Structure 1
Amino acid sequence: MPRKGLGLAPRLRYLAGRARRIDVGSVLERAHEAAEEHGKWRPAIVVDMLWQAGLRNVGFQDYIDYDFAILNKAERATYMTHPVSNQLSQKYDHPDFRGLFQDKIEFDRRFSEHLHRDWMVVEEGNADAVREFAQRLGTIVTKEPVGQAGTGVHRYHATEIEDWDAFHRGLLERGELLIEEVIVQHADLAAVCPGTVNTTRVTAFFDGETTHILAVAQKFGRGAVSDQMTYGGFYTMLDDSGRAAGNGYDSHAHIHEFHPESGVRIADFQLPMMDEVRAFVDRVARVVPEVQYVGWDIVVTPTGPVLVEGNWAAGVYENKPSATGIRTGHKPRYREAIGF
């Protein structure tokens, strides 16, 4: 595929926006963190972070998360970063169709056949329908239509609800308008953390003919309703066979050789049904072909993969050298598939 480039103008606009929003205190704090962790001189780290941000499209948090302080130039060049990912999203995700991915209700409508679970919308006057739905399923998950990083997601048990009219009214007032059946995950995922549905993030690019899987990360929760880092979750990268690359980690300097609650060794994890996962991602990527670059969150169940959501602003999941010993990232795969 010929190299299309990301264009100079979008990059300059992005850099200008970052310059306006720069938080000097945050940069210094991150530099101190990297200097302490890797035994480096903080002023040198500050200069390097600013240089990488301005000239190499490396976010400040990318610099910390992916241990850029200990990587050489060639190794750094293999890492996908958030600024580059943002430019890909802006170029390859058509703005007229992004709303289908931002609104969880609209997403469920469009991708309903790939959810493989019941769902309903909370509206004025349907308290009885909400009660019937919740009592039939026992436990439900509610979501605010627009949210990110796991915010606006809640879990309720029908046996704990006494006043259904008040419960229904509360959902409306809080904007928890989408109710979904709880996903039953595969036993291999439940063995790591049974209290949270552990999602697999598959970052993919659909070129109009072929779906290219760029990176796969396995997220693990800590018993909360979501496996996002805001709930204490962490992740590890998976190889093409679905095998964990090494220890788990997050953006808060926590590295997990073992899951803190279950004691399962993260490096031993193997995602089941990897072939089915690849085929499933290919199917969902074709539903809205105008949105080409997507981070798909799926869950492997006993009967196969199911869809949780798609993120048109895909974000980045990458190897962390201090956690896995792997000092290269996935950017070459992005370049090969997308041609930038």
Structure 2
Amino acid sequence: MIIKRLIYIPYYLIRTKWNLFFRYSGFVKKKKKISYFRLYKDVIYTMLKHNASPLDYFSFRFYDLPEEEWDNYPCTGFMYEYQLKMNPKDQRMVLHDKINFLTLFNDFSGRKWTTLATLKSNKQFAIQFLREAGEKLVLKNSTGGAGKQVEVIAIPSDIPESVIKIMEANHFDLAEHYVVQHDALMKLSPSALNTIRIVTQYLDGRAIILLAFLRISVNSSVDNLSVGHYGVNFGAAIDIETGVIYGPGVYLDITKPDVYYHPVTHTPIIGFEIPHWGKCKEIVIKAAMLTPGNRSIGWDVAVTNEGAVLIEGNHNWNLLSMSPGQRGYKKEFLQYSSMI
């Protein structure tokens, strides 16, 4: 087992954001009043024992947990193997490629969309598409992930050439009408479309919801939690049954304090009720049933005044999705894996 895990070490060494690692190390050393020797010994131990990346130790706040609880958290290596089993490579393209995704889940998307190729080949359609878009347009690279290669622009005109030029210059191949979020979410945080991450697990012909949290923007045009080295936006865990946020907002940047009131709008985080929560759950369950070849999916859902719409689905949803709720799901994953 240890030998197998050693294979991951070169990957971790290459992919780790070492600037974050050393910043987090300094923070934990000061907070816990421990030596760097003790700290790095624990990091190496988690890498060998729990197949963790160097940042997992900090991201899951292992420094605040007794060692016997560390095994409750599915670290990077475990999650890679789990998602590879649950979402085989030959099944992933429907989720990985946003154009394929919107084609299959068009009935749940709640918005109009088109490709760069269509805008270039059909000028009359392009003009109409832009006129109907409103004030904003979302441009994406269809295979980009983690909020990367996404840009929200104010529509410069109804002349397609101006939008086409922007798309070509930035390697965007997908354009979508901007989704206007529910009034309650607009009051909470108006700077971006604040989406809900809901993770589903497909089992024996049915789908269940495992966890959910709201991504909350702070003066950012996108809500992704990785923006600004994890320190701009934050997440807040949602009670699956009630749709109510039950804890403070949590930044993935461990040096930042928990959030009880939105720093801009001052809206309380705990107790915030997700509008149309029943529809949010319904839409991801229906979507999960359409792609049973992908058993573990992290869905991004937006809520409008009319209901819930599906933004995208992720076959390699980030294990940091668990951080806002600050609990592990490894035992559940082991159970689900044994059933496949």
Could you say which TM-score interval applies, normalised by the shorter chain?
0.7 to 0.9
- How many aligned positions are there? 328
Are 1:235 and 2:232 an aligned pair? no
Structure 2 counterpart of 1:54, one-letter code: L
Give the aligned CA root-mean-square deviation in angstroms: 2.7
CA distance in 1, matches of 2:275, 2:122: 39
CA drift of 1:200 comes to 0.7
What's the counterpart of residue 72 of structure 1? 66
Match of 2:92 among 86, 98, 118: 98
CA-CA distance at 1:162 after TM superposition: 7.8
Note if 1:245 corresponds to 2:246. Answer: yes
Q: Contact 2:217/2:234 (CA < 8 Å) preserved in 1?
A: yes
Q: Is the 8 A contact 2:199 2:299 kept in 1?
A: yes
Return the offset for 1:312.
0.4
How far apart in 2 are the matches of 1:334 and 1:242? Answer: 23
Q: Indicate conservation of the 8 Å contact 2:200/2:207, yes or no.
A: yes
The answer as to 2:328 corresponding to 1:329 is yes
Deviations 1:196-222 (A, max 9, x none): 111111112112412122221210112
Identity among equivalent pairs (%): 21
Three-state SS of the structure 2 residue aligned to 1:310 is strand
What are structure 1's unaligned runs of at least 5 residues? 1-6
Distance in 2, Cα, partners of 1:248 & 1:338 = 31
AA in 2 matched with 1:329 = G
Distance 1:236 1:26, change over 3 A: closer
Alignment-mate amino acid for residue 328 of structure 2 = G
Question: 1:1-12 maps to which residues of 2 (within 5 A)?
Answer: none
Change beyond 3 A, Cα 1:9–1:212? farther
- The aligned counterpart of 1:185 is 181
The more displaced of 104-113 and 264-273 is 264-273
Using the TM superposition, name which of 222-231 and 82-91 deviates more: 222-231
Give the direction of change, closer, same or farther, for the CA distance of 1:300–1:55 in structure 2 (3 Å limit): same
CA drift of 1:277 comes to: 2.2
Unaligned runs of 5+ in 2: none
2:297 match: secondary structure: strand
TM-score by length of 2: 0.86
* Residue aligning to 2:112: 118
1:265-324 Cα shifts (integer Å, max 9, x gaps): 21222223333322221110111111111111111222222111111002122246xxx8
CA contact (8 A) 1:212 1:337 kept: no
2: CA distance between counterparts of 1:181 and 1:30? 39
8 A Cα contact 2:294 2:315, kept in partner = yes
- Whether 1:32 and 2:35 are equivalent positions in the alignment is no
Aligned residue for 1:77, secondary structure, equals helix
Q: Which has the higher contact order (CA 8 A, sep 6+)?
A: 1
- Is this contact kept in 1: 2:194–2:215, CA < 8 A? yes
The letter of the residue matching 1:55 is K
Q: Structure 1 residues 213 and 162 mapped into 2: Cα distance closer, same or farther (>3 Å)? A: closer
Deviation readout 1:150-186 (Å, 9 max, x if unpaired): 111112223x338642332332342222111111222
| 1:39-58 superposed Cα distances (whole Å, 9 cap, x missing partner) | 33222111101101111123
CA distance in structure 2 between the aligned counterparts of 1:281 and 1:167, rounded to whole angstroms? 32
Which residue of 288, 303, 307 corresponds with 1:304? Answer: 307
Code of the aligned partner of 2:146? A
